[in-house]
Structures are given as structure tokens and as C-alpha cells.
Amino acid sequence: MKTLLLSAIALAATVAAPAVSFAQTFAYVNQSGEVMTTEAATPNEAIATAPNIGVHSGVMLLESTSDPIVGDSVPGV
């Protein structure tokens, strides 16, 4: 009985605990054609929250925030 109660409490604590999110840095192209960065836990979140993201822009995971692509211009946007 005690094991069942402890198992139920552990399960409830696991379900109730908020998920840990690890922010990652993503690059995207804004509406002016400039490569910008945003931080998010997932690529979908990055697309949803990137300010002024271009209509046809996606996101690219960056390993370093000093990546030389950041700040570049993309013609034809």
C-alpha cells in the first residue's frame, strides 16, 4: 500500500512539474532581408515568435551566436 501511494505521488509530481525548456538560438530572415536571431526551445516556436519574420523565411539552428551569417542581407526578399 505504501509503495502504491509513493508511486502515485511520484507520478503526480512528474506530471505537475513544468517541462524544462532549453533555449536555442535560431537565425531567420526578417521582412527587410536582414538575417536576425531569436531564442526558442523548438524551431516551430522560433518561427512563431521571431519578430518581423519574412513571409517565406524559415529558421536555422545556430551553434554560436557569433556566426558570421548574422547581420547579412538576403536579396530579393
* Domains of the chain: total: 1
Answer yes or no: are the C-beta atoms of 49 and 38 closer than 8 Å. yes
Give the C-alpha separation, 47 to 24, whole Å: 13
pLDDT digits (tens, 9 = 90+) for 47-72: 999 999 988 899 999 988 788 888 88
Q: In what order do the strands lie in the sheet with 24-29?
A: 35-40, 24-29, 60-61
Which residue segment(s) compose the domain that 30 sits in? 19-77
Give the model's pLDDT for residue 72. Answer: 85
Model confidence at 16: pLDDT above 60: no
Cβ neighbours of residue 76 closer than 8 Å, sequence gap 6 or more: 33
Strand partners, 40: 24
